[in-house]
Amino acid sequence: MKRRFNSISDKIWLLIDLGLHMILSLGFAYIFYKQTGLISWAILCIIGGVFIDIDHFMDYYKTFGIRFILNRFLYELGVNARKFYVIFHSWELIFILWLISGKVQWCVPLATGMTLHLIVDQIIHHLSEPLFYFVLYRWFHGFEKKRLEPGH
């Protein structure tokens, strides 16, 4: 059976996904701002929590080429991409940020946003693939969707 893209359930899942990323990031951004008085900390939390998804653009261009079509980006990329790089979706990167955050304090809001983002993505998109968001694991599997999401 041909997979229908952009169905009602796809849209609902996209809204849940984006909504959770926004609510959590804005909530923690507000807390950081209240605690530190620094708007930069709030912005870094939102960058880590929402704009981390910018790495999907790289996967899009590798899959569909330079012509950008929003519906393809939102609904078809996860199905059609042969490889998943999503380089910022990486527990290793987050671990490093937390490690250096003792010395480089602005890593705290960035790492917080990214941690919240990956927890949500893990639960919504890859609950049955617990290692998916380890970039070394994806690299070990050649970033290939077939090997990373065998059940899909």
Binding site for Zn ion (CB under 5 A): 53, 121
- DSSP class of residue 118? H
Q: Closer CB to Zn ion, residue 29 or residue 52?
A: 52
Give me the least distance between CB of 117 and Zn ion, in Å please.
6
The percent helix, strand, coil of the chain (3-state, each to 5) is: 70, 0, 30
Give me the least distance between CB of 34 and Zn ion, in Å please.
26
Q: Closer CB to Zn ion, residue 1 or residue 127?
A: 127
Count CB atoms within 10 A of the CB of residue 148.
Answer: 19
Give me the least distance between CB of 17 and Zn ion, in Å please.
8
Interatomic CA distance for residues 140 and 133, integer angstroms? 12
Exposed, middle or buried, 12 (CB in 10 Å: 0-12/13-18/19+)? exposed
Beta-ladder partners of 83: 144
CA triple 123-91-44, angle to 5 deg: 90
Give me the least distance between CB of 121 and Zn ion, in Å please.
4
Q: Closer CB to Zn ion, residue 10 or residue 53?
A: 53
